[in-house]
Amino acid sequence: MKKTYLTSTSSAYTKFPKKLLLWNYWDHEHIVGTHFEHYKKVEIKHEDEKVCHSDRWAKLPYLPFYIKSTDICTLVNENKMEVLHTTFFDLIKCKQVFYFEENNENECKVTRSDYLEVPFFLKFLQPIFDMLMKKWFVDVWEEDMPMRERRLKVWKLGFQDFKGIDYINNPELEKKEINSRKYELKLPIHKITQIDKKDNSNKKTFKRLFKKSKHIGYGLPDL
């Protein structure tokens, strides 16, 4: 059967370092919290500094049910990331390519191109696919913004993962803001939230434990 591709491209400009955006995309724990309206479970099969293989239970815009997909995320180079989604016994395959164009250390453009392989007679779904993918990009982008802003703010205050901020840990130290601190990234991102590990494998499962979530935590009232 002749095949074709449904395509869509979305992009956005940010005032964040490129490595901070990569940290965001590579942080699999936040998916079931920050994006609680779209995801309810993520199970990581394998992860290293270049590749993440996982199963995800997601609900796309306008769809009332969750779809389980197997995802392979690959950091091709420092400016390009590819994600291959397969579902329904590998009958449906969708590829997403992310491009990161850094203007300077504090500005970056992100472009995502989507490709869904379908039988040629489904080509008429192109406008619907484009609308769905663009909405998904905007929804997820807006949900991530508060986390990115907080991350950059505390980074400039000297924050270190799993250590905190020196002058808060030790009140005798002088408070200082390091605006010139260059953002650093080391993959894979270390995790502390691991749920449902029933064996000695490297599999990690993250579940959405609450029906509601806020950007600063689960079930908290709006500020």
Q: Which domain holds residue 95?
A: 3-169+176-208
Residue range 155-177, pLDDT digits in tens? 999 999 988 999 889 988 888 77
Note if the bond before 188 is cis, omega within 30 degrees: yes
Assigned domain for 217 exists: no
Q: Which of 173, 174, 172, 181 is nearest to 153 (CA)?
A: 181
Is there a domain that residue 214 lies in? Answer: no
Report the number of distinct structural domains present in the chain. 1
Span of 99-113, 129-143, 170-184 with lowest mean pLDDT: 170-184
User: Is position 83 within any domain?
Assistant: yes
User: CATH number of the domain that 63 lies in?
Assistant: 3.90.380.10
18 falls within a domain: yes
pLDDT of residue 59: 84
Specify if 218 maps to a domain. Answer: no
User: Would residue 221 count as lying in a domain?
Assistant: no
Q: What's the maximum distance between 2 C-alpha atoms anywhere in the chain?
A: 71
The pLDDT score that the predictor gives to residue 218 is 43
Instruction: Say if 198 falls within a structural domain.
Output: yes
DSSP-derived letter for residue 19 is H
**Could you tell me what percent of the chain has a pLDDT over 70?**
87
**For position 217, what pLDDT does the model report?**
47
- Would you say residue 99 lies in a domain? yes
